[in-house]
Amino acid sequence: MFMRLSTPAPVGLAAAAALLLPAPPAHADPGSDRNDFPITTRVHGGPDTYVAGGGFGTWYLDLTNTTARTRTDIHPVVVLVDDHRALEPAQPHLEFYDGERAHPVRFEKTDADELVGAFDDGFPGFTVAAGKTLTVRVRLALTADTAPNAVTVNAAVVQRHDDDGDWVGQSNDYRFGIESEPGRVQDPGTGTGDASLPFADELARTGLGSFTGIALAATAVLLVTGGAILLTRRRR
């Protein structure tokens, strides 16, 4: 069962959808204005620096519903892009909160060495009332073997509808540094890539090298239900 993609579609999403759908959707410019989305999305409040092997740092994701109807089944997708392309999926430990309950986020690595993780561990999604803002608490820690680096975080937002779904939001960037655990010396490395994500090669060939393009592609490959890849479409 797949989320079907409808026009207009970012180029990266269309490339993946062409492998699954009877006819490929029309292409569109991926450089869209975040203000066009029905869910205004903002990352804020996080620390400027994390220590590898240290404790969690807390930040927040605001989801503001700018429409006149309630939005349900909302799932953010977080994208981490590090300067050295050395960050591995097991190194960031990310959790989001639904009330007082913490949910883990599992990261996957694309062949371009970005990490993508959906707020989707069986969680039914957030509900955002018309005209209201829901603030989601998120916390992040890095394992002790994480090398010094700088990371940019961005969040895309998907609204599910059974076997379909819409891409409804995209956040600002949140950038932070990673420092070594005191007394530990590490080589930042360059990263070797990983093709574990389905269609990673296809997404890479679309040329979505900017961080915005990466976030768009993440929505196509990360939301997984019962092992099936769910493709998303943009909805205003």
Concatenated DSSP letters of 15-44: HHHTTTSSSPPPEE-S---GGGSSEEEEEE
Return the pLDDT at 22. 30
- pLDDT tens digits, one per residue of 91-148: 999 999 999 999 999 999 888 788 999 898 899 999 999 999 999 999 999 999 999 9
Looking at domain 34-195, does it have CATH number 2.60.40.3880? yes
Model pLDDT for residues 171-213, shown as the tens digit of each residue: 999 999 999 977 555 444 433 334 333 333 433 333 333 444 5
The percentage of the chain sitting over the pLDDT mark of 90, rounded to a whole number, equals 48
Q: Whole-number mean pLDDT of the chain? A: 73
Q: What is the pTM of this model?
A: 0.70
Q: How confident is the model at residue 33 (pLDDT cuts 50, 70, 90)?
A: low
pLDDT at position 17, please?
28
Provide the residue ranges of all domains of the chain, joining segments of one domain with +.
Answer: 34-195
Backbone Cα Rg of the chain: 17
- Tell me how far apart the alpha carbons of residues 75 and 120 are, in angstroms, rounded to a whole number: 7
| CA angle at 119 for the pair 47 and 79, rounded to the nearest 5° | 55
pLDDT for the residue numbered 187: 46
